[in-house]
Structure 1
Amino acid sequence: MHITRQRPDTQQGPAENFNGTVWMDVVAAPEPPSRLRMFNVHFAPGAHTAWHRHPHGQVLHVLEGEGLVQRRGGEVEEIRAGDTVSIEPDEWHWHGAAPRTFMTHLAVVEAAEDGTTIEWHEHAHVPEYPC
């Protein structure tokens, strides 16, 4: 057993991968052979990811606020505190805060054998969407 008492500093999401202000905290990144990665991601109102996908999929659990999520070719869907979103392996998607509220979610991914967890693509153009 290992208890982590100190965390890395909160990092701002890079502009090439996020629209708006986004902050990320590493929750878990255990040593190999584990490939689990967990992050708390904090989105300012209207902030969201670019299109991206994960080799083994992703689980998002909304901790607070309201947000939006969309898979490529699908409708924009509302998500709220308590909702859990399961994203399929290699499914292109984006997610972020609703236009007028903050949103924080726990993001859980499994790294591929080569260590990659995500492939980024172009910025998502999110319509004004009332929640």
Structure 2
Amino acid sequence: MPKADEPNDKALDSLDARLDAFEARKAAEKPAKAASEKANQDGYRLLADLIGGVLVGLGFGWLLDHYVHTSPWGMVGGLLIGLGLSIFSVVRKATKMSAQASAPSPQGNADGDTGGGSTAPKQKRD
């Protein structure tokens, strides 16, 4: 008489194999998603720096207008100074981020594969 657990063992083995394949696909997609999320975070950080610099400049200009009574000129000067400094800061940070992104990865593979893209085997060219 056959044991009742044998068909269940085959089903569990099949389920384990499908689960392993699914986890392998998800692990292969993770580096591409991480790079995309990092790029989004960097872009939002630069945008926040730009907007923040302009708002801080306007705030200092308003304070100058309020205490020194130089009606619109403090805000105009604060706006221009804040805009100039925030653009300078954003360009400097973007240049640094670009240099870091173009630098070779310390954990790169010997064949130049970065981990992203297709999992199909590479073809040799003649």
Higher share in strand = 1
Instruction: Compare CA radii of gyration and give the structure with the larger one.
Output: 2
TM over 0.5, shorter chain: no
Which is bigger in relative contact order (C-alpha 8 A, separation at least 6)? 1
TM-score, length of structure 2 as denominator length: 0.18
